[in-house]
């Protein structure tokens, strides 16, 4: 789990995509859950973080989560 270099998200789309390419094979093998460890630094803009999340889902075949309205009550 983890292993995504959050500092690569600072510079934007190109470096975010390169970082995801770096771990793509690990995800294909299975048993690995990619995510940033701890918190993203304040230098990572909200737009860059959203790009990372969308691109990670597309590249690695991670489905979109259900809308919040559909998940309400699941964790009560």
Which bin fits 71, alpha (ψ -120 to 50), beta or left (φ > 0)? alpha
pTM beyond 0.95 = no
Whole-number pLDDT of residue 76: 65
Whole-number pLDDT of residue 74: 67
Whole-number pLDDT of residue 75: 67
Q: Where are the domains of the chain?
A: 2-71
9-67 pLDDT, tens digit each: 999 999 999 999 999 999 889 888 899 988 889 999 999 999 999 999 999 888 888 88
Phi and psi angles of residue 34, each rounded to the nearest 5 degrees, phi first:
-80, 130
Strand 2-4 to 34-36 pairing: parallel
Whole-number pLDDT of residue 16: 95
């Amino acid at each position: 789990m983890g292993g995504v270099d959050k500092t690569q998200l600072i510079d934007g789309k190109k470096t975010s995509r390169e970082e995801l390419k770096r771990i793509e094979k690990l995800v294909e093998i299975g048993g690995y859950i990619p995510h940033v460890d701890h918190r993203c630094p304040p230098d990572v803009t909200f737009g860059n973080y959203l790009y990372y999340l969308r691109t990670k889902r597309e590249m690695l075949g991670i489905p979109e989560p259900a809308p919040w309205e559909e998940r309400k009550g699941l964790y009560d």
